[in-house]
Amino acid sequence: MVFWGWQLVLLLALISLPLGYTTSKEYAELEWPIDLLIVLVWVLYGVLFFGTIAKRKVQHIFVANWFFAAFIIVIAMIFIVNNLAMPASLMKSYSVFAGAQDAIVQWWWGHNAVGFLLTAGVIGMNYYFIPKVADRPIYSYRLSIIHFWGLVGFYTWAGTHHLIYSSVPVWVQNIGIVMSLILWLPSWAGAFNSAMTLLQNKQKLKTDYIMLFFFSAILYYCLATFEGPLLAIRWFNMIAHNSEWVIGHVHSGALGWVGMSGIAVFYYFIPRLWGKTELWSPRLIKWHFWLAHAGVALYAIALWVAGIGEGVMWLAQGENGELQYSFVEAMNFKAPWLFLRFFGGALFVLGLFLMALNLYKTVRAPAALVTKEA
Digit-coded pLDDT (tens) for 125-143: 999 999 999 999 999 999 9
pLDDT of residue 367: 62
Burial class from Cβ neighbours inside 10 Å (0-12, 13-18, 19+) for residue 135 reads: exposed
pLDDT of residue 374: 41
If you average pLDDT over residues 18-31, what whole number do you get?
94
In a domain, 158, yes or no: yes
pLDDT of residue 371: 47
Report the domain count for the chain. 1
- How far, in Å, are 30, 45, 113 from residue 13 at the CA level? 7, 19, 18
Q: Which domain holds residue 149?
A: 97-369
In a domain, 302, yes or no: yes
pLDDT of residue 198: 95
The dihedral formed by the CA atoms of 182, 117, 77 and 228, expressed in degrees to the nearest 10:
30
pLDDT of residue 366: 80
Has residue 373 got a pLDDT over 70?
no
In a domain, 22, yes or no: no
pLDDT of residue 319: 87
In a domain, 86, yes or no: no
In a domain, 39, yes or no: no
pLDDT of residue 318: 87
Residue type, 103: A
> The domain spanning residue 183 has which CATH number?
1.20.210.10
Has residue 107 got a pLDDT over 80?
yes
- Mean pLDDT rounded to a whole number for the chain: 93
**pLDDT band at 276, cuts 50/70/90?**
confident
pLDDT digits (tens, 9 = 90+) for 218-230: 999 999 999 989 9
Which phi and psi (to 5°) does residue 89 adopt?
Answer: -160, -170
Has residue 53 got a pLDDT over 90?
yes
Per mean pLDDT, which of 150-164, 241-255, 268-282, 343-357 is the most reliable?
343-357
pLDDT digits (tens, 9 = 90+) for 343-369: 999 999 999 999 999 999 999 988 655
pLDDT of residue 353: 97
Has residue 309 got a pLDDT over 90?
yes
If you average pLDDT over residues 92-115, what whole number do you get?
92
In a domain, 75, yes or no: no
In a domain, 48, yes or no: no
Residue 326, phi-psi category: left (phi > 0), alpha (psi -120 to 50), beta (remainder): beta
pLDDT of residue 368: 53
Give the chain's length.
374
CA 233 to chain centre: 21
If you average pLDDT over residues 45-65, what whole number do you get?
94
Has residue 372 got a pLDDT over 90?
no
In a domain, 92, yes or no: no
